[in-house]
Amino acid sequence: MEFFRISKDIPFMRHALVFNVISLVTFLLAVIFLFSRGLHLSVEFTGGTLIELSYAQAADLEKVRSSLGKAGYTDFSVQNFGSSHDVLIRLPLKAEQNTAKIGESVMSALSAEAPGASLRRVEFVGPQVGKELAENGALALLLVVIGIVVYLAFRFEWRFSVSAIIANLHDVVIILGFFAFFQWEFSLSVLAAVLAVLGYSVNESVVVFDRVRETFKKVRGLTTAQVLDHAITSTISRTIITHGSTQMMVLSMLVFGGETLHYFALALTIGICFGIYSSVLVASPLVMWLGVSREQFVRVKKQIEGANRDGAVV
């Protein structure tokens, strides 16, 4: 089997502007959604109590709501979690509530109108924890960005590292934009997924850049755009297959992983799709516009191993 039968380099760079406009528009939309709707942060960040119940029969959410209301709870949310049997109750943080007994008091409130529930999970997060998590998350993001920029600048060239990080940070913003638009719950595991995606899709840029460097060194007489086209075309097969494989795994998580892994897998899916697009079609034009050229790679004249005389090597 061979999916990719490309005889000539695809002129990606001719459409560079289009790709960048598309991605700029998506990026701006994501930013707008982030600001207008905001992220639906999980209890881990906001503080509060989370209670997961399981009923033997399909749960009657209305009854759960009304019995909680009668017990004096306010601002709570009740929804199904994964299946119709499972219910997730979110209670906001309240100073006067006795958090120690909240699980039991909710259960006793429910026993009157919606009996038969078994307690699956209780999570309580105090206010100080949430703030710290948000700060640590931002710090981790910063550390990843700096680490990657420094490493790529060291291994390649500053132009590569700057374009790679711009392209991939824009992925992160787009993932967050999706979460804001659909009001999906943004939890700690989603944050982990976002950071993992950042590391992962930089891979993609690395693979292309590796090829760019190699082509610059081996082949003379090509314009920068042609070199980039060649690098992208010759790695596109690997790009699609690798991401396809990773996506198969993520899809399996989406299908079998249940509610807990649902948003994690979803964030990865978005990240993988936009990761391909941005690291190939956004990062490469950026490198071109930043003025990468052959001279930056070929300093010492030496014969590269395995290169043909006519230079038509990959």
Partner 1 sequence: MNRYPLWKYVIVALAVVFGLLYTLPNLFGESPAVQVSSGKATVKVDSKVLERVVATLQAAGIENSGIFLDAHGVKVRLRDTDAQLKAKDLIEKQLNPDAGDAQYVVALNLLSSSPQWLSSLHALPMYLGLDLRGGVHFLLQVDMRGALTKRLDALSGDLRTLLRDKNVRHAGIAREGERVTIRFRDADTRTRARQIVEDNQPDLQLAEQGEGDDLKLATTLRPEAIKRLQEFAIKQNMTTLSNRINELGVAEPVIAQQGADRIVVQLPGVQDTAKAKDILGRTATLEIRMVDDTPGAVEAAQAGQPPFGSDLYVERGGLPLLVKKQVVLTGDRLTDAQPGFDNQTHEPAVHLTLDAAGARIFKDVTRDNVGKRMAIVLIEKGKGEVVTAPVIRSEIGGGRVQISGRMSTMEANDTALLLRAGSLAAPMEIIEERTIGPSLGADNIRKGFHSTLWGFAAIAAFMIAYYVLFGLVSVIALACNLLFLVALLSLLQATLTLPGIAAIALALGMAIDANVLINERIREELRNGSTPQAAIHTGYERAFGTILDSNITTLIAGIALLAFGSGPVRGFAVVHCLGILTSLFSAVVVSRALINLIYGRRRRTESLAIGQIWKPGSQARAIAD
Pick the piece of the chain touching partner 1 (CB under 8 A) from 24-32, 133-141, 175-183, 219-227: 133-141
Pick the piece of the chain touching partner 1 (CB under 8 A) from 25-33, 72-80, 132-140, 169-177: 132-140
Among 32, 257, 293, 311, binds partner 1 (CB under 8 A): 257
| CB 260 to partner 1: min, Å | 6
User: Is 114 within 8 Å of 64 (Cβ atoms)?
Assistant: yes
Please list every residue from 165 through 194 that binds partner 1, using CB under 8 A.
187-189, 191-192
| CB 38 to partner 1: min, Å | 21
Strand partners, 50: 90, 123
Which DSSP category does 303 fall into?
Answer: P
Is 123 a binder of partner 1 (CB under 8 A)? yes
| CB 126 to partner 1: min, Å | 3
Give the span between the Cα atoms of 137 and 188, in whole angstroms. Answer: 9
Tell me, letter by letter, the H, E, C secondary structure of 36-77. Answer: HCCCEECHHHHCEEEEEEEECCCCCHHHHHHHHHHCCCCCCE
| CB 209 to partner 1: min, Å | 8
Is 6 a binder of partner 1 (CB under 8 A)? yes
Q: Among 100, 93, 96, 63, which Cα is nearest to 78's?
A: 63
| CB 37 to partner 1: min, Å | 24
Give the span between the Cα atoms of 131 and 142, in whole angstroms. Answer: 17
Q: Binding mask 258-277 vs partner 1 (x if CB under 8 A, - otherwise)?
A: x-xx--xx--x---------
Q: Binding mask 220-249 vs partner 1 (x if CB under 8 A, - otherwise)?
A: --------------xx-xx--xx-xxxxxx
Identity of the residue, 62 or 132, whose beta carbon is nearer to partner 1 in the bound complex: 132
Please list every residue from 59 through 98 that binds partner 1, using CB under 8 A.
none
Give the span between the Cα atoms of 279 and 161, in whole angstroms. Answer: 11
**Token pair of 209, please?**
């850049």
Is 128 a binder of partner 1 (CB under 8 A)? yes
| CB 71 to partner 1: min, Å | 17
Among 119, 162, 225, 273, binds partner 1 (CB under 8 A): 119
H-only helix segments in the chain: 16-36, 43-46, 61-70, 102-113, 127-155, 158-182, 188-218, 224-256, 258-277, 283-289
The amino acid sitting at 240 is I
User: Is 247 within 8 Å of 284 (Cβ atoms)?
Assistant: no
User: Is 287 within 8 Å of 228 (Cβ atoms)?
Assistant: yes
Among 21, 24, 143, 304, binds partner 1 (CB under 8 A): 143
Please list every residue from 39 through 58 that binds partner 1, using CB under 8 A.
44, 52, 54
